[in-house]
């Protein structure tokens, strides 16, 4: 999972500084993400094609291996997240990540807050998105 996360981050966010070394990211996945959060992966040919991490109503991580972008895998992960959290979801993404923002907006998320980035480790301006199901 960590290797996919690193490849995806570097491809999607080339201007954003990684707050931790590759080894620290690997350790974080092994000691925090996998044991403490609800994690889902898509596997193809023995490799992780994508990952979804949920923490309560927070969509913590949704990353795809760069070769899997545009294949519908992200849509499938989003459907899974909404199925698992039918009362709503929230997430943060960096303001420079316009493709992610378009993706989330296409899936019904609404920008609820923008920050200057002083509260995240990368010190990168970000935006909080929320999704609430439509009640009939």
- What is the chain's pLDDT, residue by residue, as a tens digit (136 residues)? 999 999 999 999 999 999 999 999 999 999 999 999 999 999 999 999 999 999 999 999 999 999 999 999 999 999 999 999 999 999 999 999 999 999 999 999 999 999 999 999 999 999 999 999 987 6
| Within-domain flag for 136 | no
Closest Cα to residue 97, out of 67, 62, 72, 73? 62
Q: Model pTM? A: 0.94
Residue 90 lies in a domain: yes
- How many domains, the chain? 1
Q: Centre a 10 Å sphere on the Cβ of residue 100 and count the other Cβ atoms it contains.
A: 19
Is residue 54 domain-resident? yes
Cα-flanking dihedrals φ and ψ of residue 84, to 5°? -75, -25
Domain that holds residue 78: 2-131
Tell whether 67 is covered by a domain.
Answer: yes
The enclosing domain of 55 has a CATH number of 3.40.630.30
């Amino acid at each position: 999972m960590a290797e996919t996360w690193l490849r995806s981050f570097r491809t999607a966010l080339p201007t954003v500084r990684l707050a931790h070394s590759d080894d620290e990211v690997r350790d974080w996945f092994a000691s925090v993400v996998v044991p403490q959060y609800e994690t889902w992966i898509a596997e193809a040919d023995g490799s992780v094609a994508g990952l979804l991490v949920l923490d309560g109503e927070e969509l913590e991580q949704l990353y795809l291996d760069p070769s899997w972008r545009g294949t519908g895998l992200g849509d499938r992960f989003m459907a899974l997240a909404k199925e698992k959290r039918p009362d709503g979801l929230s997430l943060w993404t960096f303001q420079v990540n316009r493709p992610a923002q378009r993706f989330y907006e296409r899936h019904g998320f609404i920008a609820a807050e923008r920050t200057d980035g002083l509260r995240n480790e990368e010190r990168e301006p970000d935006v909080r998105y929320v999704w609430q199901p439509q009640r009939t």
